[in-house]
Homo-oligomer: A and B are copies of this chain.
Amino acid sequence: MLYLVGLGLGDAKDITVKGLEIVKRSSRVYLETYTSMLTVGKDKLEEFYGREVIVADRDLVEMEAEEILKEADSTDVVLLVVGDPFGATTHSDLVLRAVNAGIPYRVVHNASIMNAVGCCGLQLYSFGEAVSIVFWTDDWRPQSFYDKIKKNHSMGLHNIKVKEQSIENLMRGNKVYEAPRFMSVSQAAQQLLEIIQKRREEGEEPELSEDTVCVGLARVGAEDQVIRTATLRQLGSCDLGPPLHSLIVTGQLQPLEVDMLRLNAAPEALTHLEA
């Protein structure tokens, strides 16, 4: 059996009891390390599990999936994934290989940023399509993510930017990977502010402005998580500390959502917080 076990978002103890039992009894345990990161490393996991954990980098999961699946028809093999196992499609690929090889699989779910983001008090039901913000370079500054955010916002939906990693690297499809880079809330906000300014100069009535209420989140689910409700301008110069970060652009707010956002709001943002 191939088990895909979610680790959740914080530390070693965010694995489920079911997941931990599977880890303890399986023949081999792999830790997928390239689509996201936990606040603790392999060593802490090994200590907590009392057993060896094999780091599975991108090559191993994608190119040498056979190694992971070896003997998984007769023994139990685990792939540990930060968050929930189906946050990234790469694991669909491994599942398909397993099924094609006649190996059964099972998923042990856990929290991921896609649902844990509800901790800021915004209704999960009112989020539109998730939007990825790519890292700009000097000569590559696409704006398509802004148009997606605009579309969600014009429908009153909240936006979430969840992809902290550099997309162009993930998509490149060759074996030269850069070290993972994680976009901070302030970087994301700065790129949005620049687009808003540019669009205004081009005569477009901007759907968003420097005063749009946003929520910056860092290390959701960890002991030192940060939730900061502020204007987009304020978030452009904030420092929320180490990764992972997420940025929410709020849409139409309900009264209870406003009350929750006030719990973590910067003073300037309070004046903009009206349902």
Whether the pair B125, A126 counts as a contact (CB closer than 8 A) is no
Asked if A130 and B119 make an inter-chain contact with CB atoms under 8 angstroms apart, the answer reads no
Say whether A112 faces chain B, with CB atoms less than 8 Å apart. Answer: yes
A221 touches B109 (CB 8 A): yes
Given the known inter-chain contacts A15-B17, A109-B115, A112-B115, please indicate yes or no for A260 contacting B87, CB distance below 8 A. Answer: no
Closest chain B CB from A110 CB (angstroms): 5
CB pair A114 B119 closer than 8 Å: no
Q: Please, how many angstroms separate the alpha-carbon atoms of A220 and B162 in the complex?
A: 24
Q: Is the interface of A mostly helix, strand, loop or mixed?
A: mixed
Interfacial chain B residues near A15, Cβ < 8 Å: 16-17
A111 contacts partner chain B, Cβ-Cβ < 8 Å:
yes
Q: Which residue of B lies closest to A107 (CB)?
A: B119
Q: Is A210 an interface residue (CB 8 A)?
A: no
Partner of A129 from the list B86, B125, B256, B263 (CB cut-off 8 Å) is B125
Interface positions, chain A 107-131, Cβ under 8 Å from B, are 107-112, 114-116, 118-119, 121, 123-130
User: 8 closest A-B pairs (Cβ-Cβ)?
Assistant: A86-B118, A109-B111, A13-B18, A115-B115, A13-B17, A109-B116, A114-B115, A125-B130
Residues in A lying within 8 Å of B, measured CB to CB: 6, 8-18, 20-21, 84-87, 89, 92-93, 95-96, 99, 107-112, 114-116, 118-119, 121, 123-130, 132, 151, 155, 157, 162-163, 220-221, 254, 256-257, 259-260, 263
